[in-house]
Amino acid sequence: MAETVYLTKEGYNKLKAELDQLRIEERPKAAAAIAEARDKGDLSENAEYDAAKEAQRNLEARIMNMEMTLANARILDESRVGTSKIQILNKVTLKNHNTGKTVVYTLVSDHEANLREGKLSVGTPIGKALIGKKKGDVVDVTVPAGQVKFEVLDISI
């Protein structure tokens, strides 16, 4: 059985839109590239044809993966998220004791993580260490660069 994937409504809709775009726009482009390469002659020595077929296989694998993700998705109910302790969908304000800097992250599923947008996966070392912590807690986290100490300054939605 496939693993359940937890997504926000926004993340689900974004993934569905990307899947629709791949099906509607990219599939026909891939088929056209194969047809164009096929028209160029001998398929046994046609690198362009081989490349187009490989691109199509990659596209179909990506589509299939996205379809499975959506089929196994459970949309998280943001109205049921509390702020007494850290959980997925919380926005957390942390003070990095090593650098003195303050950072703000929203904890999301692996599929929605994007550090440029401040979305941190609950599956990362920091995310795992924060789950269940309360305001004022200090957490030691082992990251690739070493040990980092974070203090939870705020938990919000």
The SS3 assignment for 35 reads helix
The pLDDT tens digits of the residues spanning 65-96 come to 999 999 999 998 878 888 899 999 999 999 99
Place of tokens 């409504």: 9
The pLDDT value recorded for residue 1 is 61
CATH architecture of 78-156: Roll (3.10)
Q: Is the pTM of this model over 0.75?
A: no
Contacts of residue 122, defined as CB under 8 A and 6 or more positions apart, other chains included, come to 88, 107, 108, 109, 110, 128, 131
Contacts of residue 85, defined as CB under 8 A and 6 or more positions apart, other chains included, come to 132, 133, 134, 155
The mean of the pLDDT values for the chain is 91
Domains of the chain, by residue range, sit at: 5-75, 78-156
CATH architecture of 5-75: Orthogonal Bundle (1.10)
The SS3 assignment for 51 reads helix
